[in-house]
Structure 1
């Protein structure tokens, strides 16, 4: 069976453990190699054409159902967190009185750069579902360092997400060699450019990285949160859960790193960070007739 770009495939040598989307097919010296992007994880990989098999509809449905179940569980826990945060904010905003006060909230604005347009669409849908104001930009990982300063100037975000696809290859170098990673060096350079523009860690909160990314370099470059401490794969939606938690946490409160990671699908093996302030601001009075 012929395999073409955009087909959903698995790698026979890995027992088809991950569903991939074929994004390119190259031929050199008579051998075909496919470039693959994870369908649910932010992993990019090369694979021999003959090692691939198209995932049949029944198995594809089964794997997709398993991921959707994990997503739903994670979202339910996250929703509980957000509801508790909002209840606490309402109590604080009204001084604990039973009398109703008209107040409004301004969650942190997110600028989300994603190397994968399909994942970006999924993330934007989740941001909308939880009520996070977001600007989404599809941008190839290699182009991010050159575009980030202009985008920050234009959108003026409170939170910046720099993500896409990545992968570590033992064949290309040791685990601490950035050249052994497909896109970590581009993410690192993008973070550095953003920090030259806004150095303070609490004026611009940054999440950076994808599957197997060089966590330590991203943190040292200036990211507040990054992937992947244990060089494992991260789920496509994990960045959303992290930045949404930050977006809804009041700016006077500091966020414990575990509080941010506990409701992600990947957890601390794939995600980590440093203590960071929230960015939510509350005001009053809120008068709808003045806004119309």
Structure 2
């Protein structure tokens, strides 16, 4: 079976443990090589064309079932968290009185830059499902540093997500060398440009990184949360769970890092961060516009 660009494949040498989308096929030094993007994880890779196995819809459904179950579990746990946060906010906003009081809440606005349009679409669906106000923009990782300043000026987000694809290559250098990573240096530069616009860590909360990204450099550049401390793959939806938790946490509360990570699909090996304030604000009274 001929494998073409945009086909879903697995790598025989890895027992097809992850699903990939073929984004390009080239002949390098006489060998046919495919360039791949992870279908569920934010990983980019390349593989010999002959190592690839086309995954039909039945096989894809079987291999994806585990990830879908994890996504559902994470969404359920996150929804429980948000419900508890809202109930507590309602109690505090009304002073615990029986007399009903009307109030409104303004969750943090998210600007999400993603190097992969398919992942961005998945993330936007989840943002909508949990009620986070978001603007999603597809942007090539290499172009992010030059575009971020004007985007912040225009959209004035409370939370910024900088993500896409990344990978560490042992052949290119040591694990401490940022030049051994596919896009980490672009993510780092984007964070630095964003911090030139908004230096304060609690005025603009930043998540940055993708699979195997250089975690330490991203945090030192000014990210509040980043991937990947153990250089492992992170799930496509992990950034959403992190920033949604921040979006719905009151600005007077500090967020414990473990509270943010515990409902992600990857956990602390793939994600980390620093203590950060929430961005949700509550006001009153709620005065809906009357229809005439």
Question: Which TM-score tier does this pair reach, normalised by the shorter chain?
Answer: over 0.9
Which residue of the partner structure matches residue 67 of structure 1?
67
Counterparts of 1:88 and 1:227 in 2: how far apart (Å)?
A: 31
Give CA-to-partner distance per residue, 1:229-257, whole Å, 9 cap, x none: 00000000000000000000000000000
Partner SS state of residue 202, structure 2: coil
Asked if 1:289 is matched to 2:289, the reply is yes
Instruction: Provide the alpha-carbon RMSD of the alignment.
Output: 1.0
Counterpart residue number, 1:181: 181
Give 3-state SS (helix, strand or coil) of 1:289's partner: coil
Q: Following TM superposition, by how much is the alpha carbon of 1:58 offset from its aligned partner in structure 2, in angstroms?
A: 2.4
Displacement of 1:216: 0.2
Partner in structure 1 of residue 96 of structure 2: 96
Which residue matches 2:42? 42
- Matched with 1:277 is 277
Distance 1:10 1:287 in 2: 54
SS across alignment from 1:285: coil
Give the ranges of 4+ consecutive aligned residues of structure 1 lying more than 6 Å apart after TM superposition: none
What CA distance in whole angstroms lies between the structure 1 residues aligned with 2:174 and 2:66? 33
Q: TM-score, normalised by structure 1?
A: 0.98
Partner of 1:114: 114
2:80 aligned residue: 80
Q: C-alpha separation between the residues in 2 aligned to 1:214 and 1:234?
A: 13
Quote the residue 1:163 is aligned against. 163
Q: Distance in 2 between matches of 1:135 and 1:108?
A: 12
- Aligned positions, number: 292
CA distance in structure 2 between the aligned counterparts of 1:10 and 1:92, rounded to whole angstroms: 51
Deviation at 1:289, TM superposition (A): 2.4
- Alignment partners' CA distance in 2, 1:58 and 1:289: 50
Structure 1: segments with no counterpart, 5+ residues: none
Q: Structure 2, unaligned stretches of length 5 or more?
A: none
Question: What is the alpha-carbon distance in structure 1 between the residues aligned to residue 28 and residue 212 of structure 2?
Answer: 27
Provide the secondary structure at the position in 2 that maps to 1:269.
coil
Mapped to 1, the partners of 2:290 and 2:180 lie a distance apart of 56
Distance 1:74 1:180, change over 3 A: same
What does residue 145 of structure 2 align with? 145
Deviation per residue, 1:10-42 (Å, 9 max, x gap): 111111100000011112332111110000000
Q: How far apart are residue 75 of structure 1 and its match?
A: 0.3
TM-score by length of 2: 0.98
Matches within 5 A, 1:186-197: 186-197=186-197
- Please give the alpha-carbon distance, in whole angstroms, between the structure 2 residues aligned to 1:68 and 1:99: 43
SS state at 2:268 partner: helix
Task: Output aligned runs, 1:121-132, within 5 Å.
Answer: 121-132=121-132
Q: Distance in 2 between matches of 1:92 and 1:242?
A: 24
The aligned counterpart of 2:18 is: 18
Query: Does the residue aligned with 2:96 lie in a helix, a strand or coil?
Result: coil
Aligned residue number for residue 215 of structure 2: 215
- Return the alpha-carbon distance in structure 2 between the equivalents of residues 135 and 273 of structure 1: 23
- Cα separation, partners in 2 of 1:285 and 1:220, compared to 1, 3 Å: same
